[in-house]
A and B are shown apart, each in its own frame.
Chain A
Amino acid sequence: MATKVGMEVSVAVGEVVKAVNTDVIAAYPITPQTHIVEHLAELVANGELDAEFIPVESEHSAMSACLGSAAAGARTFTATAGQGLELMHEVLYVASSMQLPIVMTVANRALSAPLSVWGDHSDAMAVRDTGWIQIFTENGQEVVDHVLYAFRIAEDRKVLLPVMIHLDGFNLSHMIEPVLLPEQSEVDQFLPPNQYPLPLDPNKPVTMGDFGPPIIYTEAKWAQEVNLRASKEVILRAWKEFGDIFGRHYSSVECYHREQAKVLLLTMGSFGETAMMAIDNMRKEGRDVGLLKLRLWRPFPFEEIRQAVKDTEVLIVLDRALSFGGPGGPVCSEIKAALYGEAKKPKIISFVGGLGGRTINVAGFEYIVNRGIEISQTGSEHEFEIFGVRE
């Protein structure tokens, strides 16, 4: 049985990457992800982890090195944040379309300008369509669990896709939290050895990332789409098996006090913790409100979302990113799209807040819920409302 330790979440990420005996780490340090790669560099330098640590000159190179490493069949890890993720952008598509099982933690950070090292989801939303499996985490334990879990689903023969684990910059990356690190025996039970089926091998040459003329590109992209959607079955099954071994159970969409809730708030990432406190307060006052926490972002859990809101009258979605000139927060517009065809659907209200590290406290979440209900009754001329902006 694992013992509980107090540990900075970034360091705990490093410990899990060590526990899974990662072969290659190619990463560039960037706030607020730095402590993850710092700790890994230390573990490799100390001889505690027998891995290649490739100190690259940029994130573009980091992801490119990861392509080569994963293609050779090595268990591969990297981490980044904000601008670093943006610099990787074009290579992210290559990783997913070549089906290379790379695991990456992203300590979510706002994008420049003005320069912000603090947290929001702008970086994650900009890589939404890169074809990676993407999971948002809420607390230190979820991060630890999902780093291990990410290797399991990435390397599954039926999936073979890169996986991004999002953890909010500072709110999670720099927190010292009580976490249960997995025992080696549990890791070995949950995670089989990486066996990439078509690795680079001089004795059995293959061509990866070949060019795709118009006659084949559509087929290649459709195969990729079918595969990403089908990965959900493995994602759900692996969560079940994880629960059986570790006793912690996860789902695509987590419901908190959904019972008899006419009004639901939806958040992603670490804000769920504070939002729960707000929901607790409002429940104590006899309000019929609840919370949804969207954990699986890609592939998008359409069925689970539809199921979760089937009896809801008002659904309030809080985004931590702006889609400039667009239809509101990116999460909210996807939720709207997922529910558009439903005969019975809630009124959906879009809020954007918590940008660039701006905190939303318990009172703030209560305000968002109350204001959301008000907008659902009065209507609004705006696509979305921004929370906490000084007029």
Chain B
Amino acid sequence: MTKPENEITWKDLEIGSIVTEPGNASQYKTGDWRSQRPTYDFNKCIKCGICSIFCPEGCVELNEEGYLEANLFYCKGCGICARECWTQAITMVDEEE
């Protein structure tokens, strides 16, 4: 998309609202659906990757230190990673605003 979605007018749409740019679902911010976000205690993390396997959004990525962390642009805050984490390294906290 050339414009942010909140600036797209009806005139910008292709015929039949057809999407002509393949793969642009990655530009869709699902992170703002979230009411809770995962927080991490990397002292407990054993880098097993179970959180990334269970993540229904597929948004768990390796950070610079090699720990697994949800990409908050996509994370919907479902909490499945926190539920599944073997070492309870993940805690869900409420989004404040």
Contact = CB atoms under 8 A, between A and B. Distances in A.
**Pair from one complex:** yes
Interface of A: 97-100, 160, 197-198, 205-208, 210, 212, 215-216, 218-220, 222-223, 226
Given A99-B15, A160-B16, 15 more contacts: A97-B16, A100-B16, A160-B15, A198-B14, A198-B16, A207-B18, A207-B22, A208-B18, A208-B19, A210-B18, A219-B8, A220-B10, A220-B13, A222-B10, A223-B11
A208 B22 contact: no
A228 to B, nearest CB: 12
Contact of B15 (A197, A216, A219): A197
A374 B97 CA distance: 67
B20 interface: yes
A209 to B, nearest CB: 8
B13 A208 contact: no
Contact of A223 (B10, B19, B20): B10
Most A-side CB within 10 Å, residue of B6, B8, B16, B20: B16
A98 B16 contact: yes
B9 interface: yes
A219 B18 contact: no
Given A205-B22, A215-B5, A99 B16 contact: yes
Contacts of A206: 18-20, 22
Contacts of B43: none
7 contacts: A97-B16, A99-B16, A198-B20, A207-B22, A210-B17, A210-B19, A216-B17
Contact of A198 (B5, B10, B13, B15): B15
B13 A223 contact: yes
Interface residues of B, number: 16
A207 B22 CA distance: 7
Contacts of B10: 218-220, 222-223, 226
Contacts of B6: 215
A169 B15 CA distance: 34
Given A198-B14, A223-B13, A216 B8 contact: yes
A87 to B, nearest CB: 23
A208 to B, nearest CB: 5
A97 B17 contact: yes
Contacts of A215: 5-6
Interface in B10-46: 10-20, 22
A365 to B, nearest CB: 42
Nearest to B24: A207
B17 A212 contact: yes
Most A-side CB within 10 Å, residue of B6, B11, B13, B17: B17
A2 B43 CA distance: 87
B48 to A, nearest CB: 34
A160 B18 CA distance: 13
Contact of A219 (B13, B16, B19): B13
Contacts of B20: 198, 206
Interface in B31-77: none
A49 B17 CA distance: 33
A160 to B, nearest CB: 6
Contacts of A216: 5, 8, 13, 17
Contacts of B8: 216, 219
Nearest to B20: A206
Top 6 nearest A-B pairs (CB, nearest first) are: A99-B16, A207-B19, A219-B10, A98-B16, A223-B10, A205-B22
Contacts of A219: 8-10, 12-13
Contacts of A205: 22
Most A-side CB within 10 Å, residue of B8, B18, B20, B22: B18
Nearest to B13: A223
Nearest to B12: A219
A347 to B, nearest CB: 39
Contacts of A160: 15-16
A205 B21 CA distance: 8
A272 B14 CA distance: 40
